[in-house]
Amino acid sequence: MTDGLLLDTHIALWLDSGEDALRSSTRAQIDGCWQNGGTIYMSAVTIWEIAPLVDTRRIELDLPIEGWIARFVERPALKIPWGVDSDRV
């Protein structure tokens, strides 16, 4: 059992979008962590990496970045360490 996982930027984006690029073994590890009471972490650095990509239109999210972050962290067992305030991104 995995007690916690730290998502890399591309994994967070793929997980949120349902992107097929997410390997089934990676998806199984994430699902297993959630199902076994583990915690999924997304680094504050991930947010700082995503925000300029959205601003420069290199990637598109289905929500403004603030809403995307809020939706992402509403998922069960997902945490952003170091207390990121999505209004300040």
Model confidence over 28-81: pLDDT tens digits? 998 898 888 888 888 888 888 999 999 999 999 999 988 988 888 787 777 777
Domain range for 31: 4-88
CA 46 to chain centre: 8
Q: Please count the other Cβ atoms lying within 10 Å of the Cβ belonging to residue 27.
A: 13
Query: CA–CA distance from 22 to each of 10, 27, 66 (Å)?
Result: 9, 7, 24
CA gyration radius, the chain: 13
Question: What global pTM score does this model have?
Answer: 0.75
The residues pairing with 78 across neighbouring beta strands, listed in sequence order, are 40
More confidently predicted of 19 and 15: 15
Q: Domain total for the chain?
A: 1
